[in-house]
Chain A
Amino acid sequence: MADYILEMKNIIKEFSGFRALDQVNLNIERGEIHGLCGENGAGKSTLMNVLSGLYPYGSYDGDIVYNGDICKFKDLGDSENKGIVIIHQELALSPYLSVKENIFLGNEQAKHGVIDWDLTEKKTTNLLKTVGLKLSPNTLISQIGVGQQQLVEIAKAFSKSVKLLILDEPTAALNEEESANLLDLIREFKKQGITSIIISHKLSEIVNVADRITIIRDGKTIETLDHEEISEDRIIRGMVGRELTNRFPDRHPKIGDVYFEVKDWQVHHPVDTNRVVDNVKDFNIKRGEIVGIAGLMGAGRTEFAMSIFGHSYGQEIQGTVYKNGQEISVKNVADAINNGLAYVSEDRKELGLDLLMDIRENTSVASLNKISKNGILDKDQEIKTAEKLNEKMSTKYTSIFQNVGSLSGGNQQKVVLAKWLMTEPDILFLDEPTRGIDVGAKYEIYTIIEEMAASGKSICIISSELPEIIGMCDRIYTMSNGKMTGEVVRKDANQETLMSLMTMEA
């Protein structure tokens, strides 16, 4: 019989009549790395919230057995005292406090209420060494990147003598290199006897790092796979309950002439004027073509797209933009939209949607001129248009007046796409179009993108996921340090070639 550090038995959790977890069982062996997979809304996060005591004992049915004892956690503090620490997708660090202050936040190294800063700094230095971070303990959190912040969170977990570490989408905001480092670190922890649970949508990582995997679907445990059974296809089959033969739709492109072209594009950093963020000699998209931009985080991909889209990023922007051979103005967003440009941002909640508004209002907000006369809205027409477009996107909703905040990530992204389709664009920039979206919905989004290209639009996809870029694009630009370092056509594209171009010194 295996030595289980944690057994969750027949967990049932209901939210006002809706059963989010239905008799879920999860067994974690001591010292293993356990992957937890499932589509968005399958119940992974709910299960972890039950475990951490966020949903206290009594609000669910079933037992949590940890180290052989039944646990009745009342709150997060209870579970942390036992060495169970969760690191959430949204990092919970205070931006204007230093690394050491954050690590010991709520756990201050104090005597009689007076903080011993020397001790704090010494301990922090040791912890940072453990997670492989070369930082001064006095650095402010706001000055470091997301990847390093993630490591600070992990260091914080270690300050509480963690035994069971739970990572919820730890690499969602990291680039490939940072992700690899993080996974190495988790393997290192395993050697030190720490058990980890990893929740991730990036199946390749899970396959890489996990000893065993439990799959959850619709609030039920589907199966637990042992190491030798694990493969991406196998996991996907478990997650969606069917074989997903193609992860990308077939592509039979009808590519026309060069339609959209950017020349000698130079963008300076919004604060530091001397720093050139982007310097692109030539970039073009043909009619009906899907072009990809591959690059590591910080390569200037998003900055490039946003600076073209109405100078939304940077300053002292130079260069010219042509559409169909004619020079067009993109000086502000309204100009860019009027000239047929659309930009679907990488951050849905911050930049793409107004979470206070409903589906209808979010769909129409970029094309209010299309549903108004002399500044007066025709709301009936607005409803009809929004319904039509969201139907086309197959957005799942109960009412067009439903708040977008209540939709799943995939459906939110469909609303964003509907919003930009309503502007009737000719050129679409899609920045991380499937980030945080589950496998089934990803395929639907890909199909939509495919259809848009087939209808003659020019499309540019920016993505950190190389399989996505390779699977979708007809032509791929690689970007490094603000410059285009290569151009690869579909038949020559593979991860190795792209990676070496992306990491080229430019």
Chain B
Amino acid sequence: METTHEVHEVKADKKKMNIKDKVMDIFSRYSMVIILIVLLIAFQVMTGGIFWRPLNVTNLVLQNSHILILAAGMLLVVLLGHVDLSVGSVMAFVGSIAGIMMVNNKMNPWVTIIACLAVGALIGAWQGFWVAHVGIPAFIVTLAGLLMFRGLTQVVLGGQSLAPFPKVFQKMATGYLPDIAGGEHLHYLTMIIGILLAAVLIYSQWRARQHHKSNLFEVESIYAFAFKAIFTGVIVIGVTYIFAAYSGYPVILIILGVIVAAYGFLTNKTVPGRQIYATGGNKKAAELSGIKTKKITFWVFVNMGVMAALAGLVLAARLNAATPQAGTSLELDAMAAVYFGGASTSGGIGTILGAIVGGLVMGVLNNGMSIMGVGVDWQQAIKGLILLLAVVLDVYNKRKKVA
């Protein structure tokens, strides 16, 4: 019910269209969101109501956080028309360094985290150098990286797992916000933050609307705006309530929230963000427009390295061990999430929200099918098929729009 309204209202600014065109347009724009919503409802029914329980929703976030972090970094790489196959191995490598530093040498977790992120940046710089400045295809460079860093992980760990990590470090991936008032059934701090967040979101939408108005642009009607505001509020507070009913916001959800906001801002509102899209859309035209495409490419890979390192740390913290096989084939999950979210394999098209929705679809599929007792073998087969179908649907919709 709410979703159809939301969509109607988004379209309100468009000039008159007939109903059929409108529906088609909505489908082509929001096909991934619609798939996610359908899945969320379907699994709730098929799991007999287990799916939406606070414990499960919290688990869903904890189990998929590292993939969402990877997807955010991968989005920029894919926007440039490249891929990064090495991120799974980089995760394991960074995890192993964290293990050596904290488990073997008892070093301070904060120092370790900063050192590990720096290692990720260095790896990214190494790969970015070959791709951007020497012009080696990213597929080759990062395929080499996949082999190299998996091998180096084995060297560093000597084939053994390292455990356990200090408590503070584990908190990063498995901890929750502390509570202030010690509610029995509800996490008050989480609720307060959720309500504040909703208020800030609605206020910033209002400000944007006023700003548009002062620039004499067309804005949506006050009713449409009110609806959007209420919708935002209900979703944010509703989801917050689910978390609050268990143990409150997980720490990793806050980290994810910050990452999504930062990437949304970067891709949407900044000059470097626009330059990334321009480089991916038409590199030669971008160069002739004065954009330093080599520099952009280099820094996107550095960024990917840092995000892979962060994902590696999160995974190590959640598993509470540095293992030689950590993160195997996660590069594929990250890329699947990005393509799932509507990004183009040839670059220039894609959004952070799409990538996150794509990552969530993957996560929801994993989680939902696990609850239903579907075996891992079948899970993988079904995920593969759904990925293909989703992208086919997307391509089909876009083609129809052009014709």
Contact = CB atoms under 8 A, between A and B. Distances in A.
A309 interface: yes
Interface residues of B, number: 28
Contacts of A410: none
Interface in A283-339: 309-310, 312, 332-334, 336-337
Nearest to A398: B15
B374 interface: no
Contacts of A354: 277-278, 281-282, 285-286, 348
A309 to B, nearest CB: 7
B274 A380 contact: no
A268 B5 CA distance: 62
Interface in B269-284: 269-275, 277-278, 281-282, 284
Contacts of B291: 333, 365
Given A377-B271, A377-B274, A380-B211, A355 B281 contact: yes
B249 to A, nearest CB: 28
A365 B288 CA distance: 10
A352 interface: yes
A288 to B, nearest CB: 25
Contacts of A350: 282, 284-285
Interface stretch (A44-52, A127-135, A367-375): A367-375
Contact of B275 (A15, A16, A312, A368): A368
A361 interface: yes
Nearest to A334: B290
A332 B282 CA distance: 18
A369 B289 contact: no
B349 interface: yes
A366 B273 CA distance: 14
A369 to B, nearest CB: 7
Given A357-B277, A377-B271, A379-B269, A351 B290 contact: no
Given A357-B277, A383-B217, A375 B270 contact: yes
Given A356-B349, A377-B269, A361 B287 contact: no
Contacts of A380: 211-212, 215, 217
B271 A372 contact: yes
Contacts of B272: 375
A354 B291 CA distance: 13
A309 B287 CA distance: 11
A333 B292 CA distance: 8
A106 to B, nearest CB: 25
B206 to A, nearest CB: 16
Interface in B119-140: none
Nearest to B211: A380
Nearest to A357: B281
Nearest to A399: B15
A155 interface: no
B271 A375 contact: yes
Contacts of A189: none
Contacts of B286: 354, 365
Interface in B344-372: 344, 348-349
Contacts of B284: 350-351
Contacts of B215: 380, 384
Contact of B288 (A16, A345, A356, A369): A345
A33 interface: no
A366 B403 CA distance: 30
A309 B273 CA distance: 25
A199 interface: no
B31 to A, nearest CB: 18
A372 B268 CA distance: 12
Interface string B290-314: 1110000000000000000000000
Interface of B: 211-212, 215, 217, 269-275, 277-278, 281-282, 284-292, 344, 348-349, 403
18 contacts: A310-B288, A312-B287, A332-B292, A333-B289, A333-B290, A334-B290, A353-B285, A354-B281, A354-B286, A354-B348, A355-B282, A357-B277, A357-B348, A365-B286, A372-B270, A372-B271, A376-B271, A380-B211
